Each structure stands twice: as structure tokens, then as C-alpha cells.
Structure 1
Amino acid sequence: MKDILIVTNYFPPETGAASNRISHLAEGLQKRYFNVSVITPLPNYPKGKIFDDYKDVFRFSSTENNIQIHRLWVYASNSKNKFLRLFSMLSYSLSLIWFFITNKIPKTVIIQSPPLVVAFTSTLFLKFKNRKLILNVSDLWPLAGLELGAFKKNFAYRLLEKIEKFNYEKADLVLGQSEEILNHIKSILPNKNTFLYRNYPKIITPEINSKSSSNNKIKLVYAGLLGVAQGIHKLCQELDVSNIEFHIYGDGAERAQIENFIKINKEIPIYYHGELSRNELHKEIPTYDITIIPLLNRIYGSVPSKIFEYAKLGIPIIYFGGGEGENIVTENKLGWVVKVGDYANLNHVISSIDKTELSSLKHLIKKTADTKFDFDLQFDGLINKHFYLL
């Protein structure tokens, strides 16, 4: 068995797309007879606090599903203060350096990016030790931060651009979750070895729910991070709920605002159900008619993994996020696309949906997803093409 190490900032029991993505990657390698180990911080995302089961330890190692996991000390924080967030990343970077010095490192290492600084630390140190590096890029930083308003084009931003380029240069292979990411990398390094690696889920999907609710209202659902970028609070304010119910699952920075909005507007059919585990959501989501994937602003390079996950569950999607995701939804007939920020058109699209046609649409979407968004088929393609690196 070949040894391979994965360096990531997110891993179960943490929730979210990043954690799921790396977990599937590790399990995919392990099932193909690789001896997989993972380095990750002590669990703290998304609340920015170390989980109760891992408090008061500096390092926690375990074997889960035949994967060896090393959880290292981190100064956990989800503060909006940039310096505290930077210190959090640097603390994990220091833990990584200590681990690299005191442990035997496999010849091949997969590094998750972002966070950019953590990826830089790993790339710099491990390339010096002559390891083969595979960089898994899920979002473009610092460009995404600039589009979200987190950065300005100043000295710090230019420094991050240099770090980004360094990471790409030193990687033997770059995996990108979107065509936009790969195009961006090629614009910097035209000859860089890249591979399109979508965030296809590895899940057991339930049967399509063909039952319709007793009333004529469409049951719309959102499940995920309740952050500023998703804009669920604004969505609650802008939705025309005369012919729909809107159901919300998740947690994040906007949770209190959403709960307060619902409390004040008790007469409107918007419901918050708290946070569920991923397995619980997979049972709950298919009971709804349609789902929505929103972003307040289009982020270049970003393709929400929810597109593939919801398609696998056979639920029609209203995509309200712009960018490459629009093409995926349109080309594969997964639902409807609405221009980012156009709430009037969003309400028009929802009002025009024929509820009687949703059952047949669900079956078509699931059939498409099972054919085109196959995790194992994509994974085997990666292994076969780049086996020399692994």
C-alpha cells in the first residue's frame, strides 16, 4: 500500500462542504488501497470554538474508518477581526511545522487551499523536503476575498497574490473544483498540470418523494451556512410568500437576525428548524418541493457543492448565485437560474412553477445526477491519469 498524507483545515466531525469534500477524498483513497493519514486542526468550525470532546488537549490522534487522523492545536476563532483570524491560521501553521519536523512524512501530500497561509506553510516546508505535492483548490484566494469585500488592492493583497502563485508553482498537480479556477491558474502558469475535480458527493440517496403537501403552496427549502455571503436574511425579506412556504436549516452569523425576523413576522410562512446533521438533512430535504442556492454576490471560481448534492437527492434547484453554477444547472436541466440580486425575477420564477410537474422533474434530475455526477467515476479518472504522482 502506498502512503499518502492529506493536510486540511476542515474535517469531520466539523460540518460543511469543505469537511465533506476532504472526507470523501480520504475515504476514496483508502478504498483504493492507499494508506491514508490526515492532518487537521482540533475541531472548531463553524463556531470558532474547540468542540467539547477535544478540549484541553494539545493533540488528538485516532484511527477512523481505517484512516489515521492527527488533530493539532489551533487558536480557534471565527472573529470578524482580521488579525485574530490571521493568528488562528498562523497557530495551525506552527502546529503543522512542528508535526512535519517530528514525524515521518509520506512521499505524496495533498494540500487543501484555502486557507492560503496554511497551504503556503505546507507547500514551502514539504517542497523543501522534496515531497510530491497535490494542491486541492476549492476557492480562489485572494480574489474571492476581494470580490466579497474582505480585501482591498493594497500591499497585503499583492503579497497574498505572490503566495498564491508560489503555491501553484510548487505543486506537482493542481486540482480545481471549477473550470474558472483552472482557467485562473492557467492565466498565471500556462503550463501547470491541472485536473478538474468537482465536489461530487458520495452519498446513499433515498427514494424520490412523489407525495404532494395537502395545500397548494410550494415548499421551498434552504439548508446550509447562514452566513453573510448567502444572504438568507435578505431573502426572507424579499420573498413573495403568498404561494410558498420557506423552510430554513443551518447555523451561522445571520441566525439571530433570521430568528428575530420570523418572530416579528409570525403571520408569514417562513420557518427555521435549527441545524441538522448531514445524514438527517439527506432524509429531510427530499420531502420538500424545491430548494434554493443563493449568494448575495457572484464569486469567481466558486461552484457550490450543494448543486451536485441536491441533484443526487432529486430535488429541483433554484440557482441564485451566478457564475459557473448557472451553466451547470442550465445545461443539466436541474431547475431554474435567476440573476444574482434580481428578487423580482426570483419571485416571478417561483410563481410560474407548476407543482404538478415537480414529481417527474425530480426523477429526471436524479437520473441525470447519477449519470453525470458520479464520484467514483471521477475519482478513478484522477487515479488513472495521475497514478505516477500517487
Structure 2
Amino acid sequence: MRIGLLTQWFDPEPGPAALPGMLARALADRGHEVRVLTGFPNYPTGRLAPGYRLARRLDETDGPLRVRRVALYPSHDRSAPRRVANYGSFAVSALLSGTPALRGLDALWVGNSPISVALPMWFTRYVHRVPVLLHVLDLWPDSVLASGFLGTGRVSRTIERGMAAWCGAMYRSAARVAHVSPGAADLLADRGVPREKLVHIPVWADETLGARTADLRAELGLRTDQVVLVYAGALGEAQGLDSLIDACARTGDPRLVCLIAGSGTTEERLRRRAGAVGATNVRFLGQLPRDRMPALMATGDAHYVSLRPGGMSAYTMPSKVQATLAAGRALLVAAEGDAAAVARDSGAGITARPGDPDSIADALREVCDLGREKLELLGQAGRGHYDRVFSVAAGADRVERTLHEMVADGRVRASRRPR
């Protein structure tokens, strides 16, 4: 098949921005012709990646891939106007300078975030008549509301309703709508997406984090008998990490060490809370460079995933779930809904009630009682589950199968048209 990928984020951008590139290569390895329409790389710094200069468009050959990059306003800070300029400039540039590269495709995969990508998507769908698989990587407007970008008030509610209507139009135009967590299916169906359009395609992880590497135990002065719990990620309200701090203070096992790496709006409050409640087994590492993340992943005997209950938590799948499974490490999940289900189904996880320090403390004691060797076995079970359910290969299988179904459906509809 001739397959297109439309995504604002692509290599050499790291982290979640690297996931479309992994899919593109997996599809190309299966013998498909793959074309990519994307922007100039600037994530996560907001500055163009080394070796790039902004231009109206740039065509690249990346191994078997044909990549067209189009101009955008580079930015990735918390300024709402600059973020809108970043998203909007890519959408307009992709529409004007990028869509010719998508002519003649059999099918198009679209990463839905940001939703401004609808402009080139709709052109390709209705003018080039290419069926679209819309992959809902982020739920809009939910994710924007959770981030606090919209604020509150009448104007914010108007913008929210506009986003919801925009997303509804995107869903209607797509031949299939893929969701990344099971719970999102009911939510999308409630928003008017026909059940027959919905397909579950979980998102994969950066599988290089699973490569065995030297850990940080010696550097951090950790003994071989100490059991290490790692939380790595944003320190914000949505994560509800206050209860983890309280739980660590209530866990009397001297083997437990909790490492917290990352930054965010609650960092200083969490540091003060650790001191106030006597959580001496908690260490804050700050924001680590990306190249140290594999070593941090290897350091943790178990990795902590937490979401404050309510809101989007029941159908949110934090990317660190897949990353931890891919790395072959055990999970401790204090969340409700889909994330907790993965912890149980994978055999890699222990669960606790989110926001409940006593329940989390009980889970921490269980982690310590299991010890490092048994936690390693849980991690191995998790890696097997990742390979079956979340891997790039499994994701490419689902995407490929869905695209074939879309093309076949289109041929059936065309054969039924009166001549």
C-alpha cells in the first residue's frame, strides 16, 4: 500500500514525538511505500534541531521513508499565544505546502494532537479522496482543560465548545477512529463516534529504554539490599504525589528508597511536605537529561504511576506505563481505570487506591516484601505483555490491518455506486 503519515511531531524529536517515526519505519519494513508530512523539528526546546534551517518546505529521504517538512513557528513553552502560533502555523503550512505530497495515497494515518492538523487532513480526505485513520493520541478538549491553558470563564467555555465541535467534525470525516485506552471507546461513542468506526490501537514506547544499561545505584550510594521505587515525570496536580510522600513516611521498612525525578508546579510543595512528614526515604533528583533516563529506568526495582482520581484518570494511559513495561520493570500503580487494569493484566504490577496514603503504604510494604529478585520476575512478565499488546510491532499490525479494512470498504462502496 501507499501509506501516508500526517503528524506535527517526528524524528529527530525525542520522547512521545518519536513514536510516529517508529510506526513509519515498521510499516516501511513491511514493504509499504510510506510518505510523511511533518514540521521542522523543535520539540521539546522550542528551538530548531541542529542541522535545520526554517524554510517553506524541505523534502528528505530517510532510509525507505519520504519525508516532507513544512514551515512552522518554533515554540514549546507555556505561552498560550505562542503555542497556538506553533500549532496553527504547522496546520496552514501543511495545507498549502504539504498536501501535494499526499496525493495518490491508498490511506492516511493521522496523529490527532494538535487538532489543528485537521486542516491538511480534511483537504487530503475530501480533495485527494484518501481515507483517514485518525489516531486519538490525546483527548481534546479534555487534555487542554486539564493542562489549565484555557483557564475559566465564559470565553474559555466558548473555546471548549468550539474545540468539541471541531473534534466531532474530525471524527465524522475519518474512516476509522483509533483510541489508545479501552475506556476511551465509551467516551468517544458518547460523543457521537459510531462503534463500528472505533478501533483500539494502544501506543507503543521508546523501546531503546528497555536495553540493559548501567544503573545509578553506585552513583546515588544505594546498597544492593535497598529496594528502589522510581517516579519520573511531571510534578503537577494531576499526578497527586502528595499521597506518595505521606505513604513513604508511613512505611517503616528501612530498605525502601523512593527517587523522584522531574519538575513541575508542585515540586517545591512536595519537597517541603517530605521534610514536614519525615519522609527521609524520599530523594528528589530534579530534572535529569534525557540520555540518563535509561540508567534511571534500570535503577528502579519498581516504577510508580499515579493519577489523581476523577476527571480523565479512568481513561488515561500515562506513557510511563508502556515505558516501564518495555524496560522490563515492575509497576506500582495508584490510579483508577485503564492504567490499573494494565498493571493487573500484565502481571507486572501492584495497585493501590489513588489519593489514599494508607493504601499506597500497604503497596510499598508489598514491594519491599517481594524484594528485588521477585520484582525482577514481575518486570519480565510485564515485558512479555508489552511485546504482545503495546510494542511497535503489535501497533503496526493493528494499524496495517485497519488501513487494509478501510481500503477494502472504500472499494466496496465504489462498486455499489450507480454507473
Which TM bucket (shorter chain)?
0.7 to 0.9
The 5 A counterparts of 1:234-249 are 234=242, 238=246, 240=248, 243=254, 244-249=256-261
**Match of residue 8 from structure 2:** 9
1:389 paired with 2:401, answer no
**Match of residue 305 from structure 2:** 293
Distance 1:377 1:101 in 2: 29
**Match of residue 373 from structure 1:** 389
Contact 1:173 1:194 in 2 (8 A): yes
- 1:93-140 Cα shifts (integer Å, max 9, x gaps): 11111224554524221111121222x213322222111111011121
Report deviation, 1:283: 4.8
Distance 1:124 1:335 in 2: 41
The share of aligned pairs that are identical, in percent, is: 18
- Flag the 1:374–1:45 CA change in 2: closer, same or farther, 3 A: closer
Q: Report the AA paired with residue 156 of structure 1.
A: I
The 5 A counterparts of 1:214-363 are 214=223, 216-225=225-234, 229-230=238-239, 234=242, 238=246, 240=248, 243=254, 244-250=256-262, 253-254=264-265, 257=268, 269-272=282-285, 274-277=287-290, 281-296=293-308, 298=310, 299=312, 300-363=314-377
Distance 2:50 2:133 in 1: 33
1:193 paired with 2:197, answer yes
Deviates further, 82-91 or 49-58 = 49-58
Distance 1:31 1:319 in 2: 35
Secondary structure of 1:154's match?
helix
Contact 2:230 2:259 in 1 (8 A): yes
Distance 1:191 1:171 in 2: 13
Contact 1:77 1:85 in 2 (8 A): yes
Report deviation, 1:304: 1.7
**Match of residue 412 from structure 2:** none
- 1:159-210 Cα shifts (integer Å, max 9, x gaps): 1111111101000111110112222222213344221111234736446999
Contact 1:176 1:197 in 2 (8 A): yes
**Match of residue 47 from structure 1:** 45
Secondary structure of 1:387's match?
helix
- Flag the 1:68–1:155 CA change in 2: closer, same or farther, 3 A: same
Distance 2:377 2:8 in 1: 36
- Flag the 1:145–1:33 CA change in 2: closer, same or farther, 3 A: same
**Match of residue 144 from structure 1:** 143
Q: 1:158 aligns with which of 161, 166, 172?
A: 161
- Flag the 1:25–1:226 CA change in 2: closer, same or farther, 3 A: farther
Deviates further, 202-211 or 123-132 = 202-211
Distance 2:148 2:390 in 1: 35
Q: What count of residue pairs does the alignment treat as equivalent?
A: 384
**Match of residue 415 from structure 2:** none
Contact 2:329 2:382 in 1 (8 A): no
Q: Report the AA paired with residue 292 of structure 1.
A: Y
**Match of residue 182 from structure 2:** 179
Q: Report the AA paired with residue 379 of structure 1.
A: A
The structure with the larger Rg is 2
Report deviation, 1:10: 1.8
Secondary structure of 2:51's match?
helix
Distance 1:297 1:76 in 2: 35
Q: 2:82 aligns with which of 64, 81, 84?
A: 84
**Match of residue 113 from structure 1:** 112
1:99 paired with 2:97, answer yes
Q: 1:24 aligns with which of 13, 22, 25?
A: 22
Distance 2:162 2:177 in 1: 21
Q: Report the AA paired with residue 367 of structure 2.
A: I
Distance 2:325 2:286 in 1: 22
Contact 2:227 2:257 in 1 (8 A): yes
Distance 1:352 1:101 in 2: 54
Give unmatched runs, 5+ long, in structure 1: none
Secondary structure of 1:373's match?
helix
Give unmatched runs, 5+ long, in structure 2: 408-419
Contact 1:139 1:301 in 2 (8 A): no
Distance 1:255 1:275 in 2: 17
Secondary structure of 1:240's match?
helix
Secondary structure of 1:13's match?
coil
Report deviation, 1:285: 1.4
1:203 paired with 2:201, answer no
Q: TM-score, normalized by length of structure 1?
A: 0.83
Distance 1:208 1:314 in 2: 12
Q: Which has the higher helix share?
A: 2
Distance 2:64 2:159 in 1: 41
Contact 1:139 1:181 in 2 (8 A): no
- Flag the 1:255–1:75 CA change in 2: closer, same or farther, 3 A: farther
Q: TM-score, normalized by length of structure 2?
A: 0.78
Secondary structure of 1:353's match?
helix
Distance 2:193 2:270 in 1: 47
Contact 1:289 1:358 in 2 (8 A): yes
Distance 1:73 1:28 in 2: 26
Report deviation, 1:260: 8.1
Deviates further, 33-42 or 344-353 = 344-353
The 5 A counterparts of 1:49-64 are 49-64=47-62
1:35 paired with 2:33, answer yes
- 1:5-44 Cα shifts (integer Å, max 9, x gaps): 111122232222x324312211211111112122222222
